[in-house]
Copies of this chain bind each other. A is one copy, B any other.
């Protein structure tokens, strides 16, 4: 397989499953993660070390992490909200962690029960401690492209947050469109402001939601602005439980299909990825929203019909 030109960061085991009503069994999560790793995905966010009572779907984090399947070159990431989460993540033996806060003050307060300033102080400690422990650190900034409570979000304030998180040691700044309010013009504007503010393109990831259908168009705009890391959730599972109207991470199959069709390699086997999405749909027992996923299911159904009628 040639070197990937586009890097896909897979969030389904964490961001996808935390928004499912059903609690998925640890062994089914491990099968999902193993399936994803075998498609060629190199970065997988597998769980979250938030307080187990907050998100029962991910309460098995400490049992899951030590059982993660070994795959050369695959990096497993866990979401952590604070020092307590970092301690638990370190105890479990994860090598890569993701912190999070909001670009919008109101969303930060509703989601994290503290001001952005308080979050920055916490994350400064969390990130520097994680770096001292040789971990790789991703720092999510959510509601970058719009806040369900405040509407427009100030781009320069977001750049300042990104600068602070970079100074604390974050390797990757993941810009989140938490409720799918972004548009291609705004994506270009935010990326350009980040670059002007000294945040290197190579450290920027885009985490786009498809709430209003713009995820892929926004990702295309991001690619053309020089971003190369994009978050996806297989079959389009996931959303944000704290944001009204939010539904749907960008579906990884849709990203991989688009980039590969454009000639930009992802290093991922699309057919295998689609099969992984089908299996996840079977585990969850509900229809999943990804476009390519639905197309793939339709193709399978037609093949089955024509082999039965032959």
Contacts and interface: CB of A to CB of B under 8 A. Distances in A.
Given A245-B298, A247-B295, A302-B244, A216 B219 contact: no
Contacts of A253: 213
Contact of A183 (B183, B184, B248, B258): B258
Given A217-B217, A258-B184, A262-B184, A302 B245 contact: yes
Contact of A212 (B214, B292, B302): B292
Interface string A5-35: 0000000000000000000000000000000
Contacts of A210: 291
B220 A184 contact: yes
A234 to B, nearest CB: 13
A242 to B, nearest CB: 14
A122 interface: no
A186 interface: yes
A295 B217 contact: no
Interface residues of A, number: 35
A288 to B, nearest CB: 13
Interface string A289-310: 0111011001100100000000
A212 B254 contact: yes
A261 interface: yes
Interface in A264-310: 290-292, 294-295, 298-299, 302
Given A184-B220, A213-B258, A217-B217, 20 more contacts: A183-B258, A183-B261, A184-B262, A185-B262, A211-B295, A212-B254, A213-B251, A213-B254, A213-B257, A213-B292, A214-B257, A214-B258, A214-B261, A217-B219, A217-B220, A217-B258, A244-B302, A245-B299, A247-B294, A248-B291
